[in-house]
C-alpha cells in the first residue's frame, strides 16, 4: 500500500515531476486517509471523483507546472468555482461562486489541483466548526483554519490554505504540530477571499515542512522557485515576550527560555526586546481595527440575516464594532502604523523575534478555538510569521515557537527560520 500522502509538498513535487509518483496515486492516498480518518472532520466539501478527475488530467498532461498535480486543501472562506464556498455559515449554504479566488486560480495555473474545501469557523471568526484535534478529539485544533491544520497534520493533504485576521493560521498550525506561515500583508492576493478586515486579513499556508513555503510562495506570487538558503549564517534573535506574556502558561515560558538558550549555544546572537511604552496596549489597537472593520464588512449579513449569525459573533464583534466611532478607528490605524515604524527600528538590529505561537498546547473542549493573544499583534504589524513545532506539552499535544521577521523581508525570514529549525532538531 502506498503512503505518498505522508510526503511533504517539497518531497512530493520532485517525484511528481519525475514520474516516480502520479498525481492520481497521491490523490488516492490522500482520499484513503481522509476516509479512514473521517472522525477528524477536516473537510466540509469533498468530491472524490472530481478530485481524481483533476489528478488524471494533470497526469495526462505530464504533470506540468511548478506544482505538478500536487493536491491542496482550500479553507472554505476562499472561492472555488467548481465547489461550494459556504464561509462556515448557514447563510451561504450551497453557495457556488462564479469564479475562483486568485490564490486558487494561481494554484491551478501552476499545475496544482484542489482536493476539497476545509472546515472553517463561522466567517473565519470565533464560532467553531466541526473539526477536532487529530491527536486528541477532546481538544480543539484551533481556529479559524482548523480544517486545513488538522488535515495537514493528519496526513490527509500535503498543504492547506489558511487565513489570519487574529491568529487563524499560526495558532492552529502550532496546536496541530505542523508548520504555519503568515506572509507580510499584501504579498498574497486576497481577491476572492471573504473579506473580514481589510487591514488585517492575510492568506496563509499550513504545511509539514519549511521547504514547502517557498514552493507555494513561488506559485502564489508568480516568481521562480527560490529554495531556502540553508547556508545562511546565524541570525540575530531577540526574545519578545510581548505584553501578553502572562497569558501563557509555565510550559510555554519554559519553552521560550529553553529555545533561546539552545539557539545562543548554537551561535546565534540572542537578546531581548520589548515594545516601547506607547505600544504596551497594542492588542487593544488590533481589537479596535478588527471589530470596526468586521462590523462594516458584514453589514449585509448583519442586516438581512441577523437570525442566522451566531450570537457569539453578534455579541463579541459585530454589535460592539458598529458602536466604535470613526475617529477612534482612525486613531487605531495611526497607532498601528506608528507601531510598524517602531518594529522597523527594532529590526535594524535584529533578524528574528522569538515569541510564543500560542499560550500553550491545544486546550480541551470544542466550544472555543483558543486564544490569539500571541498572534493578533503580529497580524496588525504586517510582519511575516512562521511557527515551528517544538516538543509537546503536559498532555502530550504539540507546542510551537513563533518567529517574526521584518515586514516585506519574507525570504530573509524564511532563511533565518531554517537556521533555527536545524538547531532545534
pTM of the model as a whole: 0.98
Check if 262 is active-site: no
* Catalytic, out of 89, 148, 168, 184: 168
pLDDT score of 255 more than 80: yes
Question: 25 CB contacts (<8 Å, ≥6 apart)?
Answer: 2, 4
| Three-state secondary structure string covering 18-33 | HCCCCHHHHHHHHHHH
Domain 4-221 has CATH 3.90.1300.10: yes
Averaged pLDDT, 181-187: 98
pLDDT tier for residue 1 given thresholds of 50, 70 and 90: low
The pLDDT assigned to 2 comes to 86
**How far apart, in whole angstroms, are the C-alpha atoms of residue 217 and residue 284?**
31
pLDDT score of 425 more than 90: no
Q: Parse the chain into domains and list their residue ranges.
A: 4-221
* Catalytic, out of 4, 8, 75, 310: 75
Distance of CA 327 to the CA centre of its chain: 31
**How far apart, in whole angstroms, are the C-alpha atoms of residue 417 and residue 174?**
15
| pLDDT one-digit tens code per residue, 338-382 | 999 999 999 999 999 999 999 999 999 999 999 999 999 999 999
| pLDDT one-digit tens code per residue, 17-63 | 999 999 999 999 999 999 999 999 999 999 999 999 999 999 999 99
What is the maximal distance between C-alpha atoms in the chain? 62
Check if 8 is active-site: no
Q: What share of the chain is helix, strand, coil (3-state, %, to 5)?
A: 45, 15, 40
Distance of CA 366 to the CA centre of its chain: 19
| pLDDT one-digit tens code per residue, 20-33 | 999 999 999 999 99
Taking a C-beta distance cutoff of 8 angstroms, is the pair 291, 324 a contact? yes
Query: 243: burial class by Cβ within 10 Å (0-12, 13-18, 19+)?
Result: middle
Nearest to 42 by CA among 67, 76, 2: 76
* Catalytic, out of 4, 8, 89, 144: 144
**How far apart, in whole angstroms, are the C-alpha atoms of residue 374 and residue 356?**
6
Amino acid at each position: 500500500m502506498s503512503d505518498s500522502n505522508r510526503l511533504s509538498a517539497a518531497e512530493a513535487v520532485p517525484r511528481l515531476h519525475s514520474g516516480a509518483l502520479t498525481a492520481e496515486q497521491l490523490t488516492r492516498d490522500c482520499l484513503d486517509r481522509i476516509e479512514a480518518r473521517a472522525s477528524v472532520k477536516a473537510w466540509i466539501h469533498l468530491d472524490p471523483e472530481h478530485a481524481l478527475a483533476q489528478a488524471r488530467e494533470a497526469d495526462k498532461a505530464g504533470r506540468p507546472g511548478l506544482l505538478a498535480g500536487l493536491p491542496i486543501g482550500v479553507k472554505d472562506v476562499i472561492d472555488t468555482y467548481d465547489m461550494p464556498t459556504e464561509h462556515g455559515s448557514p447563510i451561504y449554504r450551497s453557495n457556488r461562486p462564479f469564479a475562483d479566488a486568485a490564490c486558487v486560480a494561481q494554484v491551478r495555473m501552476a499545475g496544482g489541483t484542489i482536493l476539497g474545501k476545509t472546515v472553517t469557523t463561522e466567517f473565519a471568526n470565533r464560532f467553531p466548526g466541526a473539526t477536532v484535534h487529530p491527536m486528541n478529539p477532546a481538544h480543539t485544533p484551533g481556529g479559524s483554519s482548523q480544517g486545513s491544520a488538522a488535515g495537514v497534520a493528519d496526513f490527509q493533504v500535503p498543504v492547506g490554505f489558511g487565513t489570519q485576521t487574529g491568529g487563524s493560521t499560526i495558532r492552529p498550525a502550532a496546536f496541530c504540530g505542523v508548520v504555519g506561515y503568515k506572509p507580510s500583508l499584501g504579498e498574497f492576493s486576497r481577491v476572492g477571499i471573504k473579506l473580514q478586515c481589510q487591514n488585517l486579513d492575510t492568506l496563509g499556508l499550513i504545511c509539514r515542512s519549511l521547504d514547502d513555503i517557498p514552493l507555494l510562495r513561488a506559485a502564489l506570487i508568480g516568481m521562480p522557485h527560490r529554495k531556502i538558503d540553508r547556508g545562511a549564517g546565524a541570525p540575530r534573535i531577540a526574545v519578545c515576550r510581548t505584553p501578553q506574556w502572562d497569558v501563557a502558561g509555565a510550559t510555554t515560558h519554559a519553552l521560550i527560555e529553553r529555545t533561546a538558550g539552545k539557539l545562543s549555544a548554537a551561535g546565534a546572537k540572542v537578546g531581548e526586546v520589548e515594545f516601547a511604552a506607547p505600544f504596551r496596549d497594542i492588542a487593544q489597537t488590533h481589537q479596535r481595527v478588527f471589530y470596526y472593520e468586521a462590523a462594516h464588512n458584514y453589514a449585509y449579513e448583519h442586516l438581512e440575516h441577523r437570525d442566522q449569525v451566531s450570537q457569539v459573533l453578534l455579541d463579541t464583534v459585530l454589535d460592539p464594532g458598529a458602536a466604535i466611532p470613526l475617529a477612534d478607528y482612525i486613531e487605531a490605524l495611526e497607532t498601528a502604523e506608528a507601531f510598524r515604524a517602531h518594529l522597523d527600528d527594532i529590526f535594524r538590529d535584529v533578524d528574528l523575534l522569538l515569541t510564543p505561537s500560542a499560550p500553550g498546547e491545544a486546550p480541551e473542549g470544542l466550544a472555543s478555538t483558543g486564544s490569539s493573544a500571541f498572534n493578533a499583534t503580529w497580524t496588525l504589524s504586517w510582519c511575516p510569521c512562521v511557527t515551528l513545532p517544538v516538543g509537546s506539552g503536559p498532555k502530550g499535544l504539540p507546542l510551537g515557537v513563533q518567529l517574526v521577521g521584518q515586514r516585506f523581508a519574507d525570504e530573509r525570514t524564511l532563511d533565518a527560520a531554517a537556521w533555527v529549525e536545524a538547531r532545534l532538531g
